[in-house]
Amino acid sequence: LVEDAIAFYSSRLGIALQTQPQVVLSILPDVQPRASQADVSRNSVIYARLYGQGWYQDGKFSTSAIETLAHETFHLWNGALYQQSGERFEPWLSEGAARYMSHLYLTRNSPTGDLKELLASAAKNANSCMRLLQDRSISDMTGGEAPYSCGYFLNFLIDVHARESGSDIYQF
């Protein structure tokens, strides 16, 4: 799964990883509620903890498990694509890009995946972003769902603009 996501992102971005990541995956089926917690270390180790039932069944990972691992895998590119300057960290930039690209990965690799599914996801994330931000700046939203939803929608807009100008960065 991670190797497939790496190949997908490398192909789309034209940037190969410098080191092969390691994955530490824990599935804890007896812990409730169903949730995930994951992160990536600076030395390219993906740590994922999947709590509760339904992450892995009949020899296959669930869509939620694939999305979690694909999201964390994309974080390996965040440092290669851009460096944030100053002391302030803008989570919408890294989390939004990871969510958007993992959705592209899932959409492109699902039997029902198409542009309509991507547009529906963009609308869902835009609505979530507007509801969460209200009259605040995205830079004020450093935790919770806002960096993911708002960042996703901003990456979608960047992708659309790039396509309209003839440089399809994400190649959807």
The token duo for 80 is: 């290669």
Among the ranges given (10-14, 67-71, 117-121, 167-171), the one the predictor scored with the smallest mean pLDDT:
167-171
Burial class of 97 by CB neighbour count within 10 A (0 to 12, 13 to 18, 19+) = buried
Residue with tokens 């600076």: 42
Q: pLDDT digit string (tens) for 105-147? A: 988 766 556 678 888 889 999 999 999 998 888 888 778 899 9
Is the Cβ–Cβ distance between 68 and 103 less than 8 Å? no
Instruction: Give 165 or 71, the one with higher predicted confidence.
Output: 71
Give the pLDDT mean for 48-65.
Answer: 90
Distance CA 128, CA 73 (A): 24
**Tokens 């901003």 identify what position?**
154
State how far the Cα of 96 lies from the Cα of 68, in Å rounded to an integer: 13
Axis crossing angle, helix 2-13 with helix 63-81, rounded to the nearest 10: 40
Cα of 168 vs its chain's centroid, Å: 18
pTM: 0.85
Which residue in the block uniquely carries the two structure tokens 């390219």? 44
- Give tens-digit pLDDT for 10-35: 988 888 888 899 999 999 999 888 89
The per-residue pLDDT for range 85-114, each reduced to its tens digit, is 666 667 888 899 999 999 989 887 665 566
Based on its alpha-carbon atoms, the radius of gyration of the chain, rounded to whole angstroms, reads 16
Is there a contact between 114 and 106 (Cβ–Cβ < 8 Å)?
no
**How far is residue 9 from each of residues 75, 133, 144, 170, measured CA to CA in Å?**
11, 30, 26, 9
